[in-house]
Amino acid sequence: MTVDASSQQLWRRLTDWPRNDPDVLAALEETFATGDWGRYHGEQCKAFVQELASYHSVEHVQLCASGTVAVELALHGLGIKPGDEVVIAGYDFPGNFRAVEAAGARPVLIDVRDGCWTFSAEMLRAAVASETKAVIVSHLHGDLAPILEIADECQRLGLKLVEDACQVTGAMIDGKRAGSFGDAGVLSFGGSKLLTSGRGGAVLTDQPDVAQRIRIRNDRGNEAFPLSELQAAVLRPQLRKLDELNRQRLSSVALLRKLLGEEGALRWAPTSSDQISSAYFKLGAFLEPQTVDREAWVAEAVRRGVPVGSGFRGFYRRSARRCRQVGELVNSRRASERTVLMHHPALLGTAEDLECVATILERLIVADD
């Protein structure tokens, strides 16, 4: 996809990530001075583990090489075995489907709520069979799953819960951090995520036996999927600023929604209650009407300097050999076909830039008519 020459500057401002942070530079210099840059397993990782645990109010944190590995480790830690079933949404991060398969388990696909990217506790209840042992719930595109109800339902049904908070790190639900509601929570520090060290991830849990199983799994005589000292060092100052940047993203989302309205080409997921404050790795919307060609819309927005893209491809087309589908997954299919996403660095733009973005996106609709 190409950006017009006249739109390059806007594009560059709205895609500036990771940003130049003097505290990250200081951390890099410190690891250079101490020699930590050449190690893994040291003071930086130890401190980061404590800071993450305290931030999320959880007992145990296992750092690892990616969010994808973190999901696999979480499933292993919860005792998922070949032949078990694991419920996931029909629209989700592709790696989560594979993580279930990597555990030797079978994905069970359930639909997402209408106009959302997450499922409800009710939808989960209808999916459970005797082989069903666990659930992965991902908060996606700023849309937070009803995790309190889902956690209750899991308890009632005897299912283990993995809460994937890779896209909403720092979000608050009812006074608690996203990632702290399940039997295990998962974070990603991938190169585009809200906390970034190029790659990286973490598993959060309150349960010592789960933490212990994960540690043993990770240890192949040496740590098999480590996060390095250098990575931990650059993540620590970012964690200290996460709340402040998330607040800024949240108010940018409110501004964009106000400027673009609720009845335009972009349909937003329902706004959450006062008890909830989301975080935005991507701001998602459903593109309307169905006759608008999504790929053309995205290409045109990019050409004008607005960093948007399409959502996940979803799993509704996966063969029955690989998974069990519950119902027709109509909402998942619509999510796969109509989701457009704006990447979070754009949400750190100035009000002027965001007004410019809104104007550009509004005109795209006019052009389409």
User: Beta 308-310 vs 85-89: how paired, if at all?
Assistant: unpaired
**Smallest distance from ligand PLP to CB 47, Å:** 21
Question: Is the Cβ of residue 201 or residue 349 nearer to ligand PLP in the bound state?
Answer: 201
**Smallest distance from ligand PLP to CB 92, Å:** 7
**Smallest distance from ligand PLP to CB 125, Å:** 23
Question: Is the Cβ of residue 145 or residue 265 nearer to ligand PLP in the bound state?
Answer: 145
Is 229 strand, coil or helix? helix
Question: Is the Cβ of residue 128 or residue 341 nearer to ligand PLP in the bound state?
Answer: 341
CA distance 369 to 292: 9
Return the structure tokens found at 109.
Answer: 């696909």
Question: Is the Cβ of residue 93 or residue 297 nearer to ligand PLP in the bound state?
Answer: 93
**Smallest distance from ligand PLP to CB 164, Å:** 5
Residue whose C-beta lies closest to ligand PLP: 67
Q: Is the distance from CB of 185 to CB of 75 less than 8 angstroms?
A: no
322 backbone dihedrals φ, ψ, rounded to 5°: -90, -20
Kindly give, in sequence order, each residue whose CB lies less than 8 Å from that of residue 137, ignoring residues fewer than 6 positions away: 89, 118, 119, 145, 147, 150, 161, 162, 163, 164, 182
**Smallest distance from ligand PLP to CB 291, Å:** 29
**Smallest distance from ligand PLP to CB 134, Å:** 15
Return the amino acid letter for 91.
Answer: Y
Return the structure tokens found at 78.
Answer: 């919860």
Give the dihedral sign, CA 214/216/217/219.
Answer: positive
**Smallest distance from ligand PLP to CB 190, Å:** 4
CA distance 204 to 181: 10
**List of residues contacting ligand PLP (CB under 6 A):** 66-68, 93, 95-96, 138, 164, 166-167, 188, 190, 201
Question: Is the Cβ of residue 179 or residue 305 nearer to ligand PLP in the bound state?
Answer: 179
Angle between helices 67-77 and 94-102 (to 10 degrees): 40
Question: Is the Cβ of residue 7 or residue 231 nearer to ligand PLP in the bound state?
Answer: 231
Q: Could you tell me the CA-to-CA distances from 365 to 199, 241, 358 in Å, in that order?
A: 37, 36, 11
**Smallest distance from ligand PLP to CB 290, Å:** 26
Question: Is the Cβ of residue 166 or residue 323 nearer to ligand PLP in the bound state?
Answer: 166
Question: Is the Cβ of residue 118 or residue 331 nearer to ligand PLP in the bound state?
Answer: 118
In 3D space, the residue among 314, 337, 331 whose CA is nearest the CA of residue 115 turns out to be 331
Q: Within 13 Å of residue 200, how many CA atoms lie on the same side as its CB? A: 25
